[in-house]
Structure 1
Amino acid sequence: MTNTNSTPSGQPLGINHRPSPTESMFAALDERNRPAFIGYLPFGFPTPDLSIQAVRTMVEHGVDAVEIGLPYSDPVMDGPVIQSASQIALQAGERIADVFRAVEAVANAGGVPLIMSYWNLIFHYGVDRFAADFAQAGGAGLITPDLIPDEAGEWIETSDRYGLDRIFLVSPDTSDERLALVSRNARGFVYAASRMGVTGERATIGTSPEVLVDRTRKAGANRVCVGIGVSTAEQGSAVGKYADGVIVGSALVHTLLDESGKAARNSDEGLAMLAAKTEELAEGIHNARV
């Protein structure tokens, strides 16, 4: 974590000193002995307007924070479900500038808005411009799966200037040395990928995520959330017993796809299924420590 005087790169701290929005969320959940439920959905899927309804639905039915994905034509870690949804979004005319409408929708519904994006999209939009627009819309933090702290100097300084959280990823193969580097530079939480590989629903969750959470905390991270592979209430409950938050993506996105997995489901049916799946997961995750 950054200290109170400078960024990890040694630059003077910017003018925005607001507390970490996600840390504030965790603190409120700690009072109820609950892990956070973080749900993912690509912006623009099935359409830009419907995606805004969808993120609002997620918050209304139990999600604490929404990880809004920016669709990308060359995803590094997205599995087939999220790839299909992202392709539909791109074909529907998704634009980066429009994502801030979804950010506002999540914030207005009472959730914590996060954006997950490959760095190339942020870089081409303009790092300072993106941070300013994101903060203005009520955004909390940015998850960057392909940006490592060693190469994140500009983002570290910019995020400090606008009071935004920065969430870096670690995996079971990450060395203790790199876990410490990530933990020093993260703000909000560290995203622990439950396994190597792409996103997707899995029948079981092994023991490696629990070991990774423990290692990451010992390396200095204040908060660690687990994602990739969690798709059922039972899995969410198991992970929520030891993690600060549980991240679910494909299982939620799946509700908005039809049986072919290549096209969007009827909007009313899809939103109803999304609401039901969100409630099912929220029940398991929020009661994990009961």
Structure 2
Amino acid sequence: MTRIDDTFARLKSDGKKAFVAYVMAGDPDYDRSLEIVKGLPGAGVDIIEMGLPFTDPMADGPTIQMAGQRALAGGQTLERTLQMARDFREGDTTTPIVMMGYYNPIYSRGVDRFLADAKEAGIDGLIVVDLPPEEDDELCIPAQRAGLNFIRLATPTTDDKRLPKVLQNTSGFVYYVSITGITGAAEARADTVAPEVARIKAKTDLPVIVGFGVRSPESSAAIAGIADGVVVGSAIVGEIAKGRSASEVLAVVKSLADGAHSV
């Protein structure tokens, strides 16, 4: 059982939905990013998605691309992202952290070394968007052997033939991408997402969490109402980009979390 598994078991027992917040590690700089990350649980965040900045983020829209550029310009690296997890763990040993990013930095570090370091730093799960199921031996299976969840994305184009392959070695939860395209591109609609969530849940016992295109407390509530939880990224990262203080960013996060927890 990972912290992710424990969190979903607790939420289910309490009759609650999960609120997952994405932030780019190191945006706008290390200290302010860490301050925000440390404040997320108090703002109602059940699971933290910590973005690993990368130079070619093909799944991300402009908001998160720019966050990655700011972080890289500030000297954020894979090592500093692991250190951010360590620093967070000094004050919080229960909130799950999922590292989300691309395979190149992990490959460059070496899979075995990365997994050992991630586990030691307090990372609980991985979302690596450019590794398909056909490459599970590369990272997914070693990660699970190391005690980390490997979370897979399902999308509107994941048909019934493809879905079993996507679910095959997934653990922790399934991340359903509510729109076709990049992050922040469109608003998620509960009426179109609901049948897709039901289709996935018919094939797995894992929680199904919906992300991409959730921007307001109202849409957070609507999406959480038809899934096991909701992920918000671009709306939070956009507040950081405006130069908001940590307390201002966390107030926005709380409003989004309250939306998800209201159903």
Q: CA deviation at 1:105?
A: 4.1
CA distance in 1 between partners of 2:138 and 2:102 (Å): 15
Give the match's secondary structure for 2:143: helix
Residues 237 and 206 of structure 1: CA distance in aligned 2, closer, same or farther (over 3 Å): closer
Q: CA deviation at 1:23?
A: 1.7
Number of paired residues?
261
CA distance in 1 between partners of 2:213 and 2:26 (Å): 23
- What does 1:1-290 align with in structure 2 at a 5 Å threshold? 19-107=1-89, 108-109=91-92, 110-200=94-184, 202-203=186-187, 205-258=189-242, 265=243, 269-288=244-263
The residue type equivalent to 1:257 in the other structure is A
CA distance in 2 between partners of 1:280 and 1:156 (Å): 34
Asked if structure 1 preserves the Cα contact closer than 8 Å seen for 2:179 and 2:186, the reply is no
Q: CA deviation at 1:21?
A: 2.5
Q: Deviations over 1:249-280 (max 9, x none)?
A: 0111111112xxxxxx1xxx421221110110
TM-score by length of 2: 0.94
Give the match's secondary structure for 1:71: coil
Task: Report the RMSD for the aligned CA atoms in angstroms.
Answer: 1.5
Detail structure 1 runs of 4+ shifted over 6 Å in the superposition.
Answer: none
Q: CA deviation at 1:180?
A: 1.2
**Could you tell which deviates more after superposition, 158-167 or 213-222?**
213-222
CA distance in 2 between partners of 1:234 and 1:81 (Å): 21
Residues 221 and 147 of structure 1: CA distance in aligned 2, closer, same or farther (over 3 Å): farther
CA distance in 1 between partners of 2:206 and 2:97 (Å): 20
CA distance in 1 between partners of 2:39 and 2:167 (Å): 32
CA distance in 2 between partners of 1:253 and 1:173 (Å): 26
Q: Percent identity?
A: 36
Q: CA deviation at 1:204?
A: 5.3
Q: Deviations over 1:71-105 (max 9, x none)?
A: 11111111111111111111111111111122234
Asked if structure 1 preserves the Cα contact closer than 8 Å seen for 2:55 and 2:69, the reply is yes
Structure 2 unmatched ranges of 5 or more: none
Structure 1 unmatched ranges of 5 or more: 1-18, 259-264
